Amino acid sequence: MPFFKTKEGLQLFYQDWGTGNPVVFVSGWSLSSRMWDYQRIFLAEQGLRCIAYDRRSHGRSDDPGNGYDFDTLADDLAALLEYLNLRNVTLVGHSMGGGEVIRYITRHGNDRVDRAVLVAAIVPFLMKTEDNPNGVSKDVAEMVREMWKRDFPNWVLQNEPPYFNRADTSAMGEWTRWDMLQTSLKAVVECNKIIIETDFREEMRSITVPVLIIHGDKDRSIPVEISGQKSAMLLPKNRFILYKDAPHGLYITHSDQLNNDLLTFIKG
């Protein structure tokens, strides 16, 4: 099984499918690289090299019990790009992965990166503050995390219906729940904290690579009004596509549309 090492010596699992210009996928909160299977198999067949990895404490990667901050996670992503010596990369991040994509570019530069894609991403800033009044209350977020410490599997089960917002995804839902429950509970809790509390607004203004923003208008996890729409106002070179009736799990429910939009953006 292929692994690469971080600067701390952690072994993180990755998969590398296809040949051509590289596309590196960064997974959503509490999910492993498996979530991208239906994008990677399509794009690999279109002549692209598709790489995805399991974030620390997720999937098949080492579980150190620490390092759950965006600087460290961006450094882990940098270690993968350096290990494989990737150039002309397209970075694709879903949900939390969008934060890692942004922090990678602002922390490590764009020498290796040609473009980026934010899919239902958590950026620019989710927490409710005086200058972000429509955000998530810190107290509410803390209450939810306390609930997870008592019964995370039940919360995952209860929140599956709005995640897909479709009646025909029961098998996909079971597969997704299983993937989420492989993730360290400490990582689940700590990663959610940085998702809510990290403010990317200022650093996003400095990003010069083209960015494709994709978000669903039925996303109940990360509403587009506080995320995708605001990202489009901050990123200098962006294209924003709003998916009709698409939930947070649009990589499954709208996979054909997403796959074709990714291919057009990457090849264009």
CB 107 within 8 A of CB 74: yes
Q: What is the dihedral of CA 220, 225, 227, 233, to 10 degrees?
A: 160
Type of residue numbered 154:
N
What is the reported pLDDT for 180?
Answer: 98
Phi, psi of 138 (to 5 degrees): -60, -40
CB 252 within 8 A of CB 225: no
| Active-site residue set | 95, 219, 248
Spatial distance between the Cα atoms of 144 and 148, rounded to a whole number of angstroms: 6
pLDDT score of 1 more than 80? no
Type of residue numbered 68:
Y
Give the pLDDT band (50/70/90) at residue 189: very high
What is the reported pLDDT for 167?
Answer: 83
What is the reported pLDDT for 168?
Answer: 86
Give the pLDDT band (50/70/90) at residue 169: confident
pLDDT score of 11 more than 80? yes
CA-to-CA separations, 38 to 46, 106, 210, 267, in angstroms, rounded: 13, 29, 24, 18
pLDDT in tens, 38-82: 999 999 999 999 999 999 999 999 999 999 999 999 999 999 999
What is the reported pLDDT for 136?
Answer: 96
pLDDT score of 227 more than 90? yes
Nearest to 28 by CA among 219, 169, 231, 240: 219
User: What's the DSSP call for residue 6?
Assistant: -
Q: Residue 60: how many CB atoms within 10 A of its CB?
A: 18
What is the reported pLDDT for 100?
Answer: 99
pLDDT in tens, 121-149: 999 999 999 999 999 999 999 999 999 99
CB 124 within 8 A of CB 234: yes
What is the reported pLDDT for 155?
Answer: 97
User: What residues contact 66, with CB distance under 8 A and at least 6 apart?
Assistant: none
DSSP 192-210: HHHHHH---HHHHTT--S-
